[in-house]
Amino acid sequence: MTDRRLRIASYVIALVGVCAAGYLVYTKYAHGGVCGVSGGCTVVQQSEWSELFGIPVSVLGVVGYGLIFAALTLRGEMARLLLVLFSGGGFLFSMYLMYRAYITLDAFCPFCTTSAVCMTLLFVISATRFVRGPDLVAAATDLDADAEGDEVDERGGVDGELAGA
Amino acid sequence: MPSGSKSKQEAARKARLEREAAERAAAERKKRLGILGAALVAIVVVVGIVLAAGVFKEDKADNATKTKVAGGAEVKGVKETNDLLKGIPQQGIRLGQASAPVTIIEFADLKCPICKEHELNNQPTIVNDLVRTGKANLEIRLVNVIDPNVGTTDGERARTVANNLIPTNKYWSFVHTTYYNQGAEQDSWATDGKLKEILAGVGLPASAFSTRMTSANRTAQAADQKLFTDLGATGTPSVFVQARGTREYTSVPNFNSVDDIKKAVADAAKKAK
């Protein structure tokens, strides 16, 4: 699969993830959740682990997807590395929350799980893209299309930032 | 130079270039894997520090005062409950003055973790700002929504015990203290022993403990369930306000916002008769 396709897949996955996290933010602020209606999501959202530093973790999730979207729009090795860092952080944090949800709370929250799966996929794709480096065909296409300043970034794997790293 | 020799040299040059390209690619890959490894270590360290030092939402029950009761058991939240309810009249399921212009009605389940959050985090402000000041009185009407979903009987048992305490006017003390001692949703925690310990913490004798479904209890449960259904409530907690002397109930959808509840009480007070 070309780098371009992996990047498009990342966009789609991040979109699904931000929708799931966004829905959780909405339910958190719209009615706070009630028992007997919305099941595991509200149990998770009202739990001890639903807020970090006073910020709902669903809000942190939306912010995380926002950063991933921003990194996806950028080109170059640094953008790839940022994607690994953002999605990796999101992945580890999601795994911790999944552990709390499934093991500690014994609650199944489909939206939380969807977001965690998206973060996992984004991390795998980001790590794969980073290790593979820029696809030569895609890089050449990008070089044609992009401004001259971007050329250095996209070719960083050869003689750009990474070579100097 | 003979063409055969030239061809051999060309092949050797090609092979060398390919080998060099492969070596460069391998070195490049190794460098990328090294950077990825360093990034992963950084991520693990940062997330580890955040989770270890991170301030998650406080569970007030964990930090509540523990009171030793007969038999040596510890009951959480007895002091907090006594401090909260001190000086406020309890009559049946009602907390506060009967003459208050507004009644806040909360449908709750003693098994419901969100009700616990509401009870421990929001209720103290509601009691102090609205009930203690005489702006409203507060009723908790117990319904059972969790047990059927998780296959337990805790909510039902605790509700029965609570409703049997209505004549003692210690219903509120028991309900509030029970939330401090609520177990996990998936566990069966409302055992006879645990409920008797809570009763002892509330200051009631063991003889006050009863899981018997009396006629009065059945009537109370049926009335609460009917109002719950009639008002279109589907989950707990559900909060409504009712102006004195009227049959008008106004829902407060965002029960987590004490400001919303205060506003609903202020609006309802204007309609009180």
Predicted confidence at residue A36, as pLDDT, reads 59
- How many domains are there within chain A? 1
Is B237 an 8 Å CB contact of chain A? yes
- What is the DSSP secondary-structure string of B94-161? EES-TT-SEEEEEEE-TT-HHHHHHHHHTHHHHIIIIITTTS-EEEEEE---SHHHHT--HHHHHHHH
Task: Looking at A46-109, list the stretches that DSSP marks H as alpha helix, in order from N- to C-terminal side.
Answer: 57-73, 77-99
Q: Does some domain include residue A158? A: no
Q: A105 falls in which pLDDT band (50, 70, 90)?
A: confident
Which residue in A32, A93, A162 is closest to B256 by CB distance? A32
A32 to B112: CB separation less than 8 angstroms, yes or no: no
Task: Spell out, as residue ranges, where chain B has pLDDT lower than 70.
Answer: 1-3
Predicted confidence at residue B5, as pLDDT, reads 80
pLDDT at position A91 over 60: yes
Q: Which residue has the higher pLDDT, A51 or B226?
A: B226
Least confident of A93-97, A103-107, A138-142, B85-89: A138-142
ipTM field: 0.71
Give the mutation candidate from B114, B156, B255 for the A interface (greatest A CB count, under 10 A). Answer: B114
> What's the average model confidence in pLDDT over A56-84?
93
Q: Does some domain include residue A54? A: yes
Give the mutation candidate from A28, A34, A124, A126 for the B interface (greatest B CB count, under 10 A). Answer: A34
Q: Does some domain include residue A59? A: yes
pLDDT at position A162 over 80: no
- DSSP structure class, residue B204: -
User: Across the A/B interface, how many CB contacts are shorter than 8 Å?
Assistant: 111
Least confident of A28-37, A106-115, B161-170: A28-37
Question: Does residue B1 sit in helix, strand or coil?
Answer: coil
Q: A157 falls in which pLDDT band (50, 70, 90)?
A: very low
CATH number at residue A123: 1.20.1440.130
> What's the average model confidence in pLDDT over A53-71?
93
Predicted confidence at residue B189, as pLDDT, reads 92
Say whether pTM exceeds 0.90.
Answer: no
Q: Phi/psi at B250 (nearest 5 deg)?
A: -115, 125
Domain around A46? 7-147
Q: Which CATH superfamily is domain B66-269 in?
A: Glutaredoxin (3.40.30.10)
Least confident of A55-64, A128-137, B136-145, B174-183: A128-137
Residues of chain A with Cβ-Cβ distance to B47 below 8 Å are: 89, 92-93, 96
Tokens standing for B33?
Answer: 């894997």
Question: Does residue A80 sit in helix, strand or coil?
Answer: helix
Distance CA B174, CA B187 (A): 20
Q: Does some domain include residue A92? A: yes
- DSSP structure class, residue B237: S
Distance CA B113, CA A32 (A): 12
Cis geometry, peptide bond prior to residue B237 (ω within 30 degrees of 0): yes
Domain extent listing, chain B: 1-56, 66-269
Q: Does some domain include residue A152? A: no
Is B254 an 8 Å CB contact of chain A? yes
Predicted confidence at residue A104, as pLDDT, reads 82
A49 to B237: CB separation less than 8 angstroms, yes or no: no
